[in-house]
Structure 1
Amino acid sequence: MPENRSYDRRRFLRDAAVGTAAVSAVGLGAGALAGPAQAAPATAAPLTTTGARRSRPVSFRWWGTSGWRIDIGDRTVLVDPYLSRFDTGLFTGKFDQDTPLEVNTEIIDSLVDRAENIFVTHTHWDHFNDVPHIAGRTGARVFGTLTAYHLGLAYGLPSGKLAPVKGGEVLDFGDYTVEVISSLHSRNASWSMAFPGVRLTPPPKPQTIADLPEGDTLAYQIRIADGPAVFFMGASDLNERNLAGLAPDVAMVASAATTSTADYVPRLMAALDYPKVVVPVHWDNFETRLTNPPTVAESDRKRLDDLIAAVRKVSPRSRVVLPEYHTAYHF
């Protein structure tokens, strides 16, 4: 049974990678900015990627797992927003695939006041569960696989607000563009995954977590006008051929669930051309409240340590930022 506890941030400061890029963090609490012996100051100057002055303020807030809120001026984009965080027994050794789906509208509505686009990496419950409610409440358009499209229809979302994508699309929204990348889901210790499968037609409205299959996996790169290019992934596997040429400034990197994927971090860092900033995600216990400091299971603590050490080894010039919930990061 995994032991849940808050992550030892002092240990992170000792172990994390050093880099030359600077990041500023403001909000409920600044995330750790790692160096070889001490953290960079939380008030460090923002990383800049072009000589032009950014016309709109941009912030990135982590919502646990691989979930993000990105505010670009008065425009809001979400990636894999999962805020309900209900108990399935996954972190206590009592995992129940028949766990009923729950949507905590009180928490969601307190954090999501607006959204114009939602980008879904895959349709497991810890990525998709809250998306239909958020889209219905805000009018946001949902981008995802064909499975996400059909699940959206099953929840009653209008087809005009559902945008199926496959990978290769480059979508222009004026202040930002989004490139869609065909990707892979992480493998468990049996070299498989939970709830594989796709939905080729609208199913009955999902009732349990098993009703939300993986549904194929995507990654996204959001490029802010006069700002950084930021890579988002929701699972710890990759097809490096699909990442060629992306070269993001910042990479939100999923912590590996197992060691079943060979050379995960070296391949990922090389394929992304060694990003200036690496932000580990999907390492927290997502069945606990979204309060700082994030809670991490003991087994996931080891995987997070391994991820940080691997980044430090293969990409020593990358800066690692361990995020905290709700904190506004400016890259």
Structure 2
Amino acid sequence: MSGSRFGRRGFLRTVTAGTALATTGAAVTGAVPATATATTPAARPATRAGRATFRWLGTSGWRVDTGERTLLIDPFLTRFATGLFDGAFDPATELTVDTEAIAEHAGTPETILVTHAHWDHFSDVPHIAETTGARVVGTATTYNLGLAFGLDSARLSPVKGGEVFDFGDCVVEVIASLHSRNAAYSMAFPGVRTSPPATRPTTIGELPEGDTLAYQVTVKGGPSVFFMGASDFVARNLTGLAPDVAMIAIPSSDAVHDYVPRLLAALDRPATVVPVHWDHFEVPLVNPPRVPDAKTQRYLDAFLAAVRRVAPDTRILLPAYLTPYSFSG
């Protein structure tokens, strides 16, 4: 890694014990680095000015603690079975909420950023927002679904991409993005909600994608971190972001052309890449995270190999659940 890159972007470190994290310098089979020790306390850790801790909540979910504030991205902690990984996917699967898991791991967020409205990104959001008073930022579909779940419109912030918000300890930039594509060049539950549904949704099929966003969170005096909830993007919308860290969703098909090379080039090859949305999100949130099937393992391995090939100076972190990581800017 060049000296200029050291100066512009810093190393990744664990908050716990202050030890350097292992990176994936060799072939990865889905195992969590041995030095990434899981921790589960919901209490907010002490942070210095310009410092933050990032905990992976599984799927594309994150908890970010900055100073006295907590921010959530796509929190999905309930992790109920839909048959997705068993060849028996059921769109009529009932939405459920694990209030104990949420109380243990979500903290008391002031803000929740939602990338899109599919169940594995949104279904826990209404309960978290209702019980904590958090503001929910998302698409018009997220806004209208929030109303259907009884959330106060004053706590729902519809966005399109391009907005830049100041949340005190951090600045959040909203980026218009795209959803992942399956082998048929399509997706589950496409469509948008231009108004609230007549009744409160009760099944996963009632939560459409509703357009997709990405977010860049810049801790004041600290790192800039890019968050994806799905594995496609608009390259032009990423120009100039140049994040220190990128939480990148693993693709589930080959539909998107040159996914890794184009994405890393658009992001100016971040110092650290963290693969997300590769875990089995229908089993309990217990370390080590499980890769759900051979197909996902192939795409995870191919993703890691592609990052090493096109961005050899980039460090790769395969995260553990609920483990507090810190990054320097």
Q: TM-score, normalised by structure 1?
A: 0.88
Residue of structure 2 in register with 1:7 after alignment: none
* Aligned pairs (5 A) from 1:197-236: 197-203=191-197, 204-236=199-231
Greater displacement, 283-292 / 295-304: 295-304
Residue of structure 1 in register with 2:317 after alignment: 321
Residue of structure 1 in register with 2:41 after alignment: none
Task: Report the residue type matching 1:316 in the other structure.
Answer: P
Task: Sort the Cα spacing of 1:120 and 1:67 in 2 relative to 1 into closer, same or farther, 3 A.
Answer: same
1:214 deviation in Å?
0.2
Q: Note the alpha carbon deviations across 1:18-54, whole angstroms, 9 max, x for none.
A: x9752112459996422359989769xxxxxxxxx95
Distance 2:51 2:234 in 1: 33
Q: Which runs of 5+ in 2 are unaligned?
A: 38-46
Distance 1:223 1:110 in 2: 26
**2:12 and 2:20 in contact (8 A); partners too:** no
- 1:114 alignment partner, SS class: coil
Task: Sort the Cα spacing of 1:42 and 1:68 in 2 relative to 1 into closer, same or farther, 3 A.
Answer: closer
Aligned length: 304
Identity %: 60
Match of 2:168 among 167, 174, 183: 174
Residue of structure 1 in register with 2:253 after alignment: 258
Distance 1:252 1:113 in 2: 21
Task: Sort the Cα spacing of 1:40 and 1:64 in 2 relative to 1 into closer, same or farther, 3 A.
Answer: closer
- Superposition RMSD in Å: 2.2
Distance 2:316 2:95 in 1: 34
Distance 1:123 1:133 in 2: 14
- 1:218 alignment partner, SS class: strand
* Aligned pairs (5 A) from 1:259-274: 259-274=254-269
- 2:72 alignment partner, SS class: strand
Residue of structure 1 in register with 2:295 after alignment: 299
1:269 deviation in Å?
0.2
Distance 1:329 1:86 in 2: 26
Alignment of 1:281 with 2:276, yes or no, is yes
* Aligned pairs (5 A) from 1:61-72: 61-72=55-66
- 2:58 alignment partner, SS class: coil
- 2:102 alignment partner, SS class: helix
Alignment of 1:152 with 2:141, yes or no, is no
Distance 2:22 2:87 in 1: 30
Alignment of 1:92 with 2:86, yes or no, is yes
* Aligned pairs (5 A) from 1:127-166: 127-166=121-160
* Aligned pairs (5 A) from 1:57-136: 57-136=51-130
Distance 1:40 1:80 in 2: 26
Which consecutive aligned stretches of 4+ in structure 1 deviate over 3 angstroms post-superposition? 26-32, 36-43
Q: Which runs of 5+ in 1 are unaligned?
A: 1-18, 44-52
Residue of structure 2 in register with 1:24 after alignment: 13
Task: Report the residue type matching 1:199 in the other structure.
Answer: R
